[in-house]
Amino acid sequence: MKFLHCNDLHLGKKPSFGSEAFKNKRFEDYFNAFKRIIEQAKENSVEAILVAGDFFDKKETHPNILSNTEKLLQKCKEHKIKVVVIEGNHDLIYRNKESESWLIYLENKKLLQRPFVKFLENNEKEYHSIFIGETEIFGLGYPGASVDDELLEFAAYCEKNNKQDCVVLVHTALGNNEFIGGFLKDKSVLDKMKERIIYIAGGHGHRLQKYPEIQPFFFVAGSPEYCDLAENPALKTAIIFDTHSKEHKILEQTPRSCIKETITLESESAEQFREEFDKFLPLLSISAEDIVIIEIRSLASDFIPDVKWAEKRVLEKGALFAEVKWKRENFRSGFSSKKVNSQEEIELEQIKKWEHWNKASDVAAKALIEMRKSVRDGQHDISSIFDSALNSVVKS
């Protein structure tokens, strides 16, 4: 069987900031990204599309989100491409509340299939897999902070039941943000599954990852569209995998154009800043479809640039959306090094001084910043971030 693996489609995502034109176009971007995925699946003659979590951006949905989704899934059906989906933390199915899930609604309409884990009263689990041809596919959903233990338990299940050449979907990525729930902390856990599992389709991370580097069998494709504008577009992919040859192919994705530039300015007054910024702007080639992010590095110790004015100037030049940030570069007398301070870095340094965080101050401070960013982006369910941060504080 040949399949295409993607993750973190975030269908229905819509920013809570920017102009109405920007909000509406960004809403469409996530559906367009899935549409491109379907076209790539068709071009590569795959039998199935595997979505490793965060199919939707939120557990709740609206008629236009559901209608757009059903049209795309119907297109897959017309092309005879099966769609296999597990839940991520954004579309999380809570125990005993499966009837509230839109994934199960779509499954009942035979527009997708959903391998899942059923939790029994005695703490045991039932793994409900599906077959496509001879390939058995398991779905572990979003294990949260217990992902390492859940994978070890599943590896033991495969060993006990003599499972062979299986495919697994799990909404996790290799750990680099431990204060956010759901990231693998120990890569060696994956090695326990290598003899039984030919492919692990990961999610949760919005950039390409694979493990091990040579003959990898664990992949995170990365979200095909920006979920955070700081993400690297080069690491947004889809993965084609053939279960017979065990060969994979990485397909690049094309998120919305996002121009990112850094400039260093010596301005010490508002007049000088506007003059310097206006000299810089013509160097950028901006279209009406572009997102523009500019970081200003200010050499003046006592001057704060007017970023709102700068954003307005970028929009006047024709950008769809503009974000201008600044950092202050402070040269310390007597030293050759310099220290760069942004608003977030200043906040981080202050939070880290709070004694009650103990040794977890760095983790907890970053988690607070992450929670604020999530709320700003319209994602109000920040419980996984909070729980992981609190767990780190308790353990310290």
The pLDDT tens digits for 193-232 are 999 999 999 999 999 999 999 999 999 999 999 999 999 9
Cβ atoms within 10 Å, residue 226: 22
List, as own/partner pairs, every contact residues 66-71 make where C-beta atoms lie below 8 angstroms and the sequence separation is at least 24, other chains included: 66/102, 68/11, 68/31, 69/11, 69/12, 69/31, 69/106, 70/106, 70/109, 70/111
**Residue 138 · residue 129 · CB < 8 Å:** yes
What average pLDDT does range 352-357 have in this prediction? 64
pTM of the model: 0.86
* Helix 307-316 × helix 270-280 angle, to 10°: 30
Instruction: Please give the full DSSP string across 129-180, using - where no structure is assigned.
Output: -EEETTEEEEE----GGGHHHHHHHHHHHHHHTT--SEEEE-S-EESS-TTS
List, as own/partner pairs, every contact residues 69-78 make where C-beta atoms lie below 8 angstroms and the sequence separation is at least 24, other chains included: 69/11, 69/12, 69/31, 69/106, 70/106, 70/109, 70/111, 72/31, 72/34, 72/35, 72/38, 73/106, 73/111, 73/112, 74/111, 75/35, 75/38, 76/38, 76/41, 76/49, 76/111, 77/110, 77/111
For position 336, what pLDDT does the model report?
41
pLDDT in tens, 231-272: 999 999 999 999 999 999 999 999 999 999 999 998 899 999
**CATH fold for the domain made of 2-252:** Purple Acid Phosphatase; chain A, domain 2 (3.60.21)
Domain limits of the chain?
Answer: 2-252, 258-395
